[in-house]
Amino acid sequence: MKKLIKMLEVRAGIKQLNIDVKESDFVDHSGTFGDKKEINSEGNVEGLAADLKLNLGLKSFSEQESSFGRLKKEEVEVKELVNYSKNKHLNMTHPVIKQTREKPRAILGVLTERIMTSQPCPVTNKVRKRGNVGANMSVRVALSVKASMKQSGSTQTDSDVSLKIPEYTVIAFSLIELKVKCDGKFELCLFANNGGFEKVRSNYEIEEDGIMDLGGDYDINSPLNLNKELKKLSDHFQLLSVLPAATRSSLLQLLKTTMEDREAVSVLESVLDQMCDGETPDLGDLEESERETVQAIQDLVDQCVGKDEDEIRSSLLSAVHLIVSAMDGMTDEGLFVLGSCCSPPVLQALQILVQHVAAGSGETLSLRDAGLAVLTEEEVFGRTESLFGHSTVTLKREEDTLRTEMKDQPGYLPLVMSITVKGLASLGKI
């Protein structure tokens, strides 16, 4: 046993975190791989003026030899790592961490396993190609004159490529992602795609898991006053609802497409967050489709404001960011279901339900009302019931009436679902 892994500037007081690493033989590897091909072709073309005979031949041979020799494996006992990392903190001023936080996709991880070479490893690739071509052509012309021509040729290609991999080269590894708090405290994510940084906005409000602390005084562990929280955001929804119909439709379609990919939602949230803070995000790490989405949103916002209306532009970006941030806070299942509920009539019905939940009156709703009539379709109601269920809100239907119930301690899920629905409904206003 030897101590190899030292997490990046992880400290508990003065003591640094060191974890025992187990080393073992993994596998002894060597192999030869070959491929041989031979092609022959012959053809004749006859015509009034000429006859042509063509012969083609091709032979190829390739062989690859590789020997990684005896591979070594080093691994950390994950249970030991979890125990050792409790109450430890990252140095958040470290340049690597500061630069990592600026990248939308970047996540810190701990190396838990690696497989590496224990000796120099030769890799040789040999290629041999042989080819020949031949042609006979006869031409008949007037006055019984006959001309003929023969032509042949061959080609040969040889190549030998050798590569030597040095010892102690890592050829495979495993990581555990870190979920890092603003104060440097972190958790190990035993499941993939759960790592990342807690985000801090410029007004010192904290985002938990990508969810904005909308009023600066909302505690996710306290009883939820949904109506109060939504009223704080009414200006954002109003601003979106008065945009030109074509702009609203385009924004709605962009967000609907984005929510089909959970990672794309998180990336867009991070980029918009930087833009709302007056920063210029680096789009170089984004996929082409993600860059196109960001650019499309910028273009749509710019079309709605004049050159000297920076304040309005900022408000529009904040309103769009509000929706995306709420989308990012929804469960994967809830976001998936919502993607199939983005037609304007369904969104208007969802908004009525959200307002009813927020009011907390406990009164029944009639599905005969024009705004809720779309919920009489079984498929639409099933999706709606699933969406609210993933947000800890229960829908109870009895014939043509409907009631909503929310848990006493629902957490933040009803809030982010309600924000998303009201934001999208503002864009899909009929």
pLDDT mean values, one per 10 residues, the chain (430 residues): 37 49 61 59 52 58 67 82 80 79 74 83 68 52 45 58 78 84 82 72 39 46 76 93 94 94 90 88 86 92 79 91 93 92 94 90 85 92 93 89 80 90 92
Q: What is the DSSP letter of 383?
A: H
Q: Quote the pLDDT of residue 14.
A: 35
Q: Quote the pLDDT of residue 19.
A: 61
Q: Quote the pLDDT of residue 21.
A: 62
Sign of CA dihedral 183, 184, 185, 191: positive
Q: What is the DSSP letter of 355?
A: H
d(CA 426, CA 404): 22
Closest CA to 201 of 310, 318, 97, 93: 318
3-state secondary structure of 108: coil
Q: Quote the pLDDT of residue 22.
A: 64
Q: If you count DSSP H runs as helices and E runs as strands, how many of each does the chain have, helices first?
A: 12, 15
The total number of residues shown for the chain amounts to: 430
Q: Quote the pLDDT of residue 214.
A: 46
d(CA 408, CA 281): 40
Q: Sort 355 into a burial class: Cβ within 10 Å, 0-12 / 13-18 / 19+.
A: middle
Q: Quote the pLDDT of residue 213.
A: 45
Q: Show Cβ contacts of residue 130 under 8 Å, excluding neighbours closer than 6 positions.
A: 57, 58, 59, 60, 154, 155, 156
Q: Quote the pLDDT of residue 158.
A: 63
d(CA 284, CA 271): 12
3-state helix vs strand vs coil in the chain, percent to 5: 35, 35, 25
| pTM listed for this prediction | 0.57
Beta bridge partners of 373: none
Q: Quote the pLDDT of residue 181.
A: 82
Q: Quote the pLDDT of residue 317.
A: 93
3-state secondary structure of 410: coil
Q: Quote the pLDDT of residue 13.
A: 38
Q: Where are the domains of the chain?
A: 2-188, 222-430
First-residue to last-residue Cα distance in the chain: 68
Q: Quote the pLDDT of residue 178.
A: 85
d(CA 219, CA 227): 15
